[in-house]
Amino acid sequence: MGESRRVSLDVAAVRARFTALQRDPVLLDAPGGSQVPDRVIEAIAKYLRESNANVSGPYESSRRTEALEERARTTAARFLGCTPEETVFGPNMTTLSFALSRTAGREFRPGDEILCTRLDHDANVSPWLELAHDRDLTVRFVDINEDTTLDLADLERQLGDRTRIVAFPVASNAVGTLTDVRRIADLAHGAGAIAWADAVHYAPHGPIDVAAFGVDVLICSPYKFFGPHLGIAYGRRDLLESWRPYKVRPAPVEPVGKRFETGTLAYELLAGFVAAVEYVESLGWEDITAWERSLGERFLTGLPPSIRLHGLAGMDGRVPTFAFSVDGVSAEEAAARLGERGFAVWHGNYYALEVMKRLGLEDDGGAVRVGFVHYNTADEVDRLLAELARLE
């Protein structure tokens, strides 16, 4: 296990910024959607009260909305490590995935191949399956090792001159495993393929830098990193410029990312997104990641013998999201019993169908999932561990 970093995050002060955390339940459900700080709620309300308008109008509130959109693109660029022109907004990650995959696939030919992984959330699988159905393409799956790390040797074996897309997660939403993003992107590019990353689950746990990652497309969702329900994508500028977008004819073509946005944006949610990123920046990634690592180590060290963990046994190579089974208790029953005792957790497959198949959990109703983020406390981890011991 790697050496823990110094933890200086004032968790009590953090939690005071969330009205949603001033209640009794222990919220360990962030993998399905995090809570939002009050500043995000206030930003959304402020926009609706003071600036609610569409763009392109010759009046004040419309101009304020245009300024907000520009600020949101600048903020997205800062969060993702790209230029504002390379950002795309949409309703959610899944909608953006379907739209952008359909756009990318316009030039694909029958027999072309797409590689997904068995770590993927289905929002980075089904869009390619549907495109394959319509365009007579082939979708293959890169396997995972027994410890749930991605089998890079299998990826290398499957890459070929017909590979057009390598779609993969930065972190698994089911078992928390991280992938070697740069290595995957380099392998994809070596075969002439596009590296297409799903960063939804990773985004609340660490900094994103699409340039350092080397990816061509990356999609994430602010509602997973303390913001509103929204989707954000990065696309490499020259790649976006090469695609013919699905758009209404009068819609602008510049900035290049905007040509892939259909209809009117949810401007109030852009205001909330800006506030969410500014909230994360006010804490800093170093303190966030150090605190989350300490919570994960505390959880793993204290697991009772009745719990069977699925995935990496230490915090190296993972985020603090954990899938597990309880001896003699179904995942559904375990989650229900924890819910009755004040713990919000998930059970099932969490749309990670291939992971559950690979782990042999598909017919067992999946697994229980708990996820820690920076606003969780050591006391919450200890209380959860005590309840897990009582589930035997």
Percent share of the chain, pLDDT over 70: 98
Confidence of residue 392 (pLDDT cuts 50, 70, 90): confident
Whether 81 maps to a domain, the answer reads yes
Give a yes or no: residue 6 inside a domain.
no
Section 63-75 average pLDDT: 98
- Residue 250: the pLDDT is 82
Enumerate long-range contacts of 62-71, CB under 8 Å, 24 or more apart. Answer: 65/267, 68/267, 68/270, 68/271, 68/274, 69/265, 69/267, 69/270, 71/274
Q: Examine residue 91 and state whether it is found in any structural domain, yes or no.
A: yes
Residue 22 reports pLDDT greater than 90: yes
Same domain, 46 and 195: yes
Res. 5: pLDDT tops 60: no
pLDDT, average across residues 304-330: 97
Domain range for 301:
11-32+284-390
Residue 6 has pLDDT above 80, yes or no: no
| From 6-10, 31-35, 336-340, the region with the lowest mean pLDDT | 6-10
Do 241 and 329 fall into the same domain?
no
Using the predicted structure, report yes or no on whether residue 3 has a pLDDT greater than 50.
no
Domain of residue 383, CATH code: 3.90.1150.10
On whether both 58 and 158 belong to a single domain, the answer is yes
The chain-wide mean pLDDT, for the chain, equals 96
Query: 274 pLDDT band (50/70/90 cuts)?
Result: very high
- CA–CA gap between residue 250 and residue 138 (Å, rounded): 35
Please tell me the distance from the alpha carbon of residue 209 to that of residue 390, in angstroms, as a whole number: 42
Q: Are residues 122 and 204 in the same domain?
A: yes
Q: Which of 250, 280, 310 is the last residue of a domain?
A: 280
386 and 367: one domain?
Answer: yes
Identify whether residues 233 and 338 lie together within a single domain.
no
Over range 338-350, report the average pLDDT.
97
Please give the share of the chain, as a percent, with pLDDT higher than 90.
95
pLDDT digits (tens, 9 = 90+) for 196-232: 999 999 999 999 999 999 999 999 999 999 999 999 9
317: left (phi over 0), alpha (psi -120 to 50) or beta: left
Which residue, of 219, 247, 280, is where some domain finishes?
280
CA separation for the pair 384, 372 (Å, rounded): 11
Provide the Cα torsion 24, 326, 346, 14; round to 10°: 40
pTM for this entry: 0.96
Question: Above 60 in pLDDT, residue 314?
Answer: yes
Verify that 129 and 227 share a domain, yes or no.
Answer: yes
- Give the confidence band of 1 by pLDDT, cuts at 50, 70, 90: very low
Distance CA 15, CA 83 (A): 32
3 part of a folded domain: no
Q: What is the CATH number of the domain that holds 75?
A: 3.40.640.10
> Does residue 1 fall inside a structural domain?
no
Q: What pLDDT, on a 0 to 100 scale, did the predictor assign at position 253?
A: 85
Tell me: pLDDT of 52 over 50: yes
User: What mean pLDDT comes out for the span 271-297?
Assistant: 98
Residue 38 backbone phi and psi in degrees, to 5: -60, -30
What mean pLDDT do residues 359-383 have?
A: 96
Is the residue at 4 inside a domain? no
Residue 315 located in a structural domain: yes
Q: Do both 172 and 289 map to the same domain?
A: no
pLDDT digits (tens, 9 = 90+) for 377-391: 999 999 999 999 999
Q: How far apart are CA 276 and CA 88, in angstroms?
A: 17
Burial of 1 (0-12, 13-18, 19+ CB in 10 A): exposed
Residue 131 pLDDT: 98
Q: Which two tokens stand for residue 323?
A: 């899938």
Domain limit, last residue, from 255, 280, 305: 280
What pLDDT was estimated at residue 251?
Answer: 80
Q: Give the pLDDT confidence score for residue 277 in this predicted structure.
A: 98
Question: What average pLDDT does the segment 270-291 reach?
Answer: 98
Query: HEC profile for the chain?
Result: CCCCCCCCCCHHHHHCCCHHHCCCCEECEHHHCCCCCHHHHHHHHHHHHHCCCCCCCCCHHHHHHHHHHHHHHHHHHHHHCCCHHHEEEECCHHHHHHHHHHHHHHHCCCCCEEEEECCCCHHHCHHHHHHHHHHCCEEEEECECCCCCECHHHHHHHCCCCEEEEEEECECCCCCEECCHHHHHHHHHHCCCEEEEECCCCCCCCCCCHHHHCCCEEEECHHHCCCCCCEEEEECHHHHHHCCCCCCCCCCCCCHHHHHCCCCCCHHHHHHHHHHHHHHHHHCHHHHHHHHHHHHHHHHHHCCCCEEEECCCCCCCECCEEEEEECCECHHHHHHHHHHCCEECEEECCCCHHHHHHCCCHHHCCEEEEECCCCCCHHHHHHHHHHHHHCC
Residues 83 and 170 in one domain: yes
Q: Please report, in angstroms and rounded to a whole number, the separation of the first and last CA atoms in the chain.
A: 28
Our count of domains for the chain comes to: 2
User: What's the mean pLDDT in 128-149?
Assistant: 98
Amino acid 2: pLDDT: 43
